[in-house]
Structure 1
Amino acid sequence: MTATSTFRVYYEDTDMAGVVYYANYLKFLERGRSDAVRDAGISQLDMKTAGLVFVVRRVEADYHKPARFDDILTVETGLEDMRGARFSMPQRVMRGDEVLLSARIDCAVMSLEGRPARLPAEIRHKLADFMQ
């Protein structure tokens, strides 16, 4: 299964040419990942209380077409390659049927002290079950 989130492009998201500023796509992707994790039944606040956080360790993005002010965008988020302390989330930013951006985000689990930590089994199962 792919999780989806829908967002509108606001004026503040655009550059002088009226298109979405390239770095703002990272914000859209983050919102999509956060929604997917929440929809899977995982509370990032509870994780933090338990001393764990998700971090982004790598971003690979291909820009295909520009988004513009007032567009309605859908962020699609998947899950692949889940290992002990890391996993990947392929994502796409869509305008209708058009792919505007495709990305792969590599995430890791860290302790609040900044050390790698294993993904707890309960969270691993929730992610895997939701994203299948």
Structure 2
Amino acid sequence: MTDSLPTHKYGFRVAYQETDGQRRVHHANYLNYFERGRVEMLRDLGHNYKAIEDDGRMLVVAEMNVKYFAPAEFDDWLELTTTVVEIRKVRMRHLYQIHRGDQLIVEADSVIACVDRTGKLARLPNLESR
């Protein structure tokens, strides 16, 4: 991906099991949402994450920073925007934003590293749009 780095939007409804006793999304579930956003972005670019793993490479979270601005609750409709902001030889950075309507709920950034089956750093697969 050299010309422009991709941005992906993914809408979803908060499920009851993702919430705590106050019907608010438990903070740890946002990490699952970010993972879903990365996987769906790859799919929309024409890649299958399972095939990447079958080829012997895994994309692992090396760093995650999350800022919570407002709670999301059971049955809320949320939109996750996932943006690739940097790609290097063995790692890439993503920015995530989750909105409920116009309200920013959560913002995060991550570093995702590519490793082989032994856990050694490996070159990222070619993730250009197919």
TM over 0.5: yes
Q: Does 1:109 align with 2:109?
A: no
1:56 corresponding residue in structure 2: 61
Shift of 1:119: 1.2
Q: Percent identity?
A: 34
Choose between structure 1 and 2: higher strand proportion.
2
- State the TM-score, normalizing by the size of structure 2: 0.91
Shift of 1:18: 1.5
1:118 corresponding residue in structure 2: 123
- State the TM-score, normalizing by the size of structure 1: 0.89
Moved over 3 A (4+): none
1:47 corresponding residue in structure 2: 52
Q: Does 1:37 align with 2:42?
A: yes
Shift of 1:97: 1.2
**1:66-105 deviations in whole A, cap 9, x for unaligned?**
0011001111000112101000010011111111000001
Q: Does 1:90 align with 2:95?
A: yes
**1:95-127 deviations in whole A, cap 9, x for unaligned?**
11111000001101110111100113x32x33x
Query: Matches of 1:43 and 1:18 in 2, distance apart?
Result: 33
1:105 partner amino acid:
S
Shift of 1:58: 0.5
Shift of 1:23: 0.5
